[in-house]
Chains A and B, each alone.
Chain A
Amino acid sequence: MTQTLPPAPAPPTETTLLVEDLVVDVLTEHGWATVVDGVSFRVARGETLGIVGESGSGKSVTCLSIAGLMPPRQTRVRATTLRVLEHDLTALSPKQMDDIRGPRIAMIFQEPMTSLNPAFTVGDQIAEVLRRHEGLSRRAARERAIALLDRVGVPSPQRRYRQYPFEFSGGMRQRVMIAIALACRPDVIIADEPTTALDVTVQAQILELLRELQREHGMSVIFITHDLGVVADVCDRVLVMYAGQIVEGAPIVELFEQPGHPYMEGLLAAMPRMDQPAGELASIPGHPPRVGAMPDGCRFHPRCRYAEDRCTGAGSPELVRLGPTHTTRCLRHPELTLRGTP
């Protein structure tokens, strides 16, 4: 699938990550199935891009594929362009990708409880990144790791360096994960639901920490989440994914005030709000399509309240531009006035 888009206006700053027409197939019981279908986007230096969507929409697979972390024998990844700064990722061998992960792309995962190796000290797990990529001595790596622990807000870092993950709380472990991701000052950090498993208060602290660090280091951040509250809090621009495709892309304020796709309208309506009485929480009827059983036409049409005959046939609609930075994959967008949140 290729996108026929009018040329986008030149980005004002340096592009750190450029993805064009990313297609990911995974091996299922019934053969190969496409789970990410023609995803394209760019991230500028210092920008925070949110990717939202239900579980199974392909947002995590998109990011794991970019980082080369999908299991190779059960996955096929293709892309017209996959570039981090000057590095063309499509041309790199697995060994060369090892050199990209860490100093160029770093990741923070959802499960802080299971994402750290229980058999090694926290300090060792931070220091090994530095030893691997910057060739630091054991001593120098230790100094830097302690400084990193201190920077991400782990109290008494000297002592904590020697402790094991099971001695840390969930929030503290996520700080350690951030320290690991930050260790080699990456250009792009991909945070895959980094706060989903945490308490709300801890969640706010972690988001604040990420924001600070981004300002400090000028990193690009890709923030994967299904939590629109978090998106509104941290992201500059958002991509909405549904059934393996991007269905809408817009700057944060525009997306919330004037959504361009019925799916996004549905997501916004499903958000709990303070000014609404309890019990009136809306939800989108039906379920997302299963992998390998995509509906013909617009993939959202079986659940869309605005769907009409032309939405149901002749291939998936193209992504079209609503404004200079706003795109949608809806045939009826010119005639619809979708409701956002004030």
Chain B
Amino acid sequence: MLKFFAMRLLTTVPVLVLVTFVAFGLVLLIPGDPAVTIAGPDATVEQVAAVRERLGLDRPVVVQYWDWVTGALSGDLGTSLFTSRPVATSIGDGLPVTMALAGTALLISLLIAVPTAILSALRRGTWLDRVATVGSSLGIALPSFWLGLVFVLIFSLGLGWLPATGYVAIEEDPAAWLAHIVLPALTLGIAGAAESTRQLRGSIIGVLQQDYIRTARAKGLRARMVIGKHVMKNASVPLVTVLGLQITALLGGAVLVEQVFGVPGLGQVAINAVTTRDLPVIQGVVLVAVLVAVVCNLLVDLAYGYLNPKVRPR
């Protein structure tokens, strides 16, 4: 397993190099000259040239890339063109919030999906199964910003149970953190929950028909052991695939949900940067988002290795 981990870790190196290329390449792809944007519409040619020199944009692209990469490796992602704050600081503020949101969303979606899928698969064709199927279709179909607003209407404005917007760091006040994160996380997680439920229900039904499940029952194992151990370990493989895809979707979805609930996460940072064409910030956010995705995919592959002994190298 350790060898598998090391091998898998090594293969992420080329991916990371490629990612820095792409993130940095944004400068070349985005139309317009950042120097012109910053200097303002009324600037003279000399002023633009001065800005360009100050930002180092007049140097060869390869040199700029090298500076950026070596800087990124030491944690320096440059400074914002507008606020002059270090990019790393902005990301450092937003990332933990988004991670907490996405993590909680994932947890909530699993807490919904796993029991629902198991019950649904075991009681296939009953009303419970039908309710779950309709529910998951709805969960996939309903857009998250709408769902978020509905949740706010019901739980915040209507019942007054939870705050409608804002965020409190977990280290400041865990209870307030939980109160603030539940609605956004639920909003973000519900589509994933619906998708995972469907996928898991299908794979559980498939696994239940396998000969080895009959063997497990023939051994006299208790039903919870047959389901919890023998069925779930095999049925989880497609779920893990879906989760791997969902993690990326969660990061994208977080941008929207953070807007709806006024959560100061990476999404807010990204939106501000994009609307002001704040390139260093955009580059930094893209780099970090891709890094998170790469790490999550690494975890997914490790989970495969755990679930399916055949994929481990010998």
Are B309 and A166 within 8 A (Cβ)? yes
Nearest CB in chain A to that of B237: its residue: A119
Give chain B residues whose Cβ lies under 8 Å from the Cβ of A67. Answer: 218
Kindly state the separation between the CA atoms of A99 and B221 in the bound complex, as whole angstroms: 8
For window 8-53 of A, CB contacts with B under 8 Å fall at none
Are B308 and A118 within 8 A (Cβ)? yes
Q: How many residues of A sit at the interface, in one of the four size bands?
A: 20 to 34
Nearest-CB distance from A69 to chain B (Å)? Answer: 6
Are B214 and A119 within 8 A (Cβ)? no
Contact with A along B200-226 (1 / 0, CB 8 A): 000000000011101111111111010
For window 124-181 of A, CB contacts with B under 8 Å fall at 128-129, 132-133, 164, 166, 177, 180
Nearest CB in chain A to that of B124: its residue: A73
Tell yes or no: B8 within 8 A of A by CB: no
Tell yes or no: A111 within 8 A of B by CB: yes
Indicate whether A115 sits within 8 Å of B225 (C-beta atoms), given known contacts A107-B218, A132-B220, A164-B309.
no
Are A111 and B211 within 8 A (Cβ)? yes
Tell yes or no: B54 within 8 A of A by CB: no
Nearest CB in chain A to that of B222: its residue: A98
Option from B217, B307, B308 in Cβ contact (under 8 Å) with A101? B217
Kindly state the separation between the CA atoms of A103 and B220 in the bound complex, as whole angstroms: 9
Kindly state the separation between the CA atoms of A128 and B212 in the bound complex, as whole angstroms: 14
Nearest CB in chain B to that of A180: its residue: B219
For window 92-110 of A, CB contacts with B under 8 Å fall at 94-95, 97-103, 106-107, 109
Indicate whether A106 sits within 8 Å of B218 (C-beta atoms), given known contacts A111-B211, A114-B210, A120-B233.
yes
Are B307 and A116 within 8 A (Cβ)? no
Kindly state the separation between the CA atoms of A109 and B217 in the bound complex, as whole angstroms: 12
Are A128 and B211 within 8 A (Cβ)? no
Tell yes or no: B234 within 8 A of A by CB: yes
Give chain A residues whose Cβ lies under 8 Å from the Cβ of B221. Answer: 98, 128-129, 132
Kindly state the separation between the CA atoms of A97 and B309 in the bound complex, as whole angstroms: 32
Kindly state the separation between the CA atoms of A114 and B209 in the bound complex, as whole angstroms: 11
Kindly state the separation between the CA atoms of A121 and B310 in the bound complex, as whole angstroms: 11
Tell yes or no: A283 within 8 A of B by CB: no
Nearest CB in chain A to that of B218: its residue: A107
Option from B214, B220, B233, B309 in Cβ contact (under 8 Å) with A133? B220
Kindly state the separation between the CA atoms of A10 and B286 in the bound complex, as whole angstroms: 84
Are A69 and B309 within 8 A (Cβ)? no
Are B220 and A118 within 8 A (Cβ)? no
Indicate whether A69 sits within 8 Å of B310 (C-beta atoms), given known contacts A117-B234, A132-B225.
no
10 A-B pairs besides A67-B218, A117-B215, A118-B212 with CB distance below 8 A are A95-B222, A98-B223, A106-B219, A109-B215, A111-B211, A115-B215, A117-B233, A117-B234, A118-B308, A121-B309
Q: List 27 A-B contacts (CB under 8 A).
A: A69-B217, A94-B223, A99-B220, A100-B220, A101-B217, A101-B218, A102-B219, A107-B215, A109-B214, A109-B215, A114-B212, A115-B212, A115-B214, A117-B212, A117-B234, A118-B212, A118-B309, A119-B233, A119-B308, A120-B230, A129-B221, A132-B221, A133-B220, A164-B309, A164-B310, A180-B215, A180-B219
- A contact residues vs B (CB 8 Å cutoff): 67, 69, 94-95, 97-103, 106-107, 109, 111, 114-121, 128-129, 132-133, 164, 166, 177, 180
- B contact residues vs A (CB 8 Å cutoff): 210-212, 214-223, 225, 229-230, 233-234, 307-310
